[in-house]
Amino acid sequence: MAEGFELPKRAMAIFAHPDDAEFGCSATVALFASLGVHVTYCLLTSGNKGTHDPKMAPDELERIREKEQRDAGRILGVREFVFLRHGDGELEVSMDMRADVCLAIRKNKPDLVFTQDPWRPYQIHPDHRVAGWSAMDGVIAARDHLFFTEQLHRGLKHHRVPRVLLFGTAEPNIWFDVGSTLDKKIAALKAHVSQIRNPGVLDRMQNAARTTGQAWGLEAAEGFRLLELG
């Protein structure tokens, strides 16, 4: 655990594709879950274009990848899954997307959000940029009652998320000791059977976590940019 870091009660990871969270933050997700944090995954797409198989139909791939995501999440201790099912590779920063993310936050009431760092330099995947922006914009919209007022009925209230952990960041400012959960990260990555065609990537992820940990005298670590929103 990062020293002095107060665990949230509820956390939500908001990201573009099935497997993004496994690559970016899953050892920490597993650590939080093992300590009693209720974790929800919110996926903007179900990765329905992530294949090189010319015979694979997008709706079939969506079904396969949602199952893989649930399997991976279960290994980590993720309790809930929200699939927004926007088109893979077609994400745009829009008010509709912001409203979708805002609604997911208001329903799930996380007190910490994990998402992809939209400020990361040279992030070439448009979906990864959009996921980060949409998560941040959704966090801001969710907290005030005059944003998306049509959502605030039948008991649903505005909701303030005080902290965000950006993953895939070039400028980490907090590191979590994941020596006890690195194995779960690798097992969760393996659950994405349709995507992990080259097992070398598993070794690279393991080595990266160990190298990050070495700087802090830890067996393994994951680094994030922590934003405290007050």
| Binding-site ranges for Zn ion (CB under 5 A) | 16-17, 20
User: Cβ closer to Zn ion: 26 or 151?
Assistant: 26
Residue 52 CB neighbours (<10 A): 6
Q: How far is the CB of 48 from Zn ion (least distance, A)?
A: 12
* Distance of closest approach, residue 24 Cβ to Zn ion, in angstroms: 9
Instruction: Report d(CA 230, CA 75) in Å as an integer.
Output: 32
Nearer to Zn ion, 19 or 137 (CB): 19
Please, which residue, 124 or 146, has the CB nearer to Zn ion?
A: 124
Assess contact for 40 and 78: CB atoms under 8 A: yes
Q: Which of 17, 163 has the CB closer to Zn ion?
A: 17
Chain centroid, CA 113 distance in Å: 8
* Distance in Å, CB of 31 to Zn ion, minimum: 22
179 three-class SS: coil
Mention every residue, 6+ apart, whose C-beta is less than 8 A from residue 33: 39, 76, 77, 78, 79
Residues ≥6 apart with Cβ < 8 Å to 5: 174, 176
**CB 9 → Zn ion: shortest distance, Å?**
28
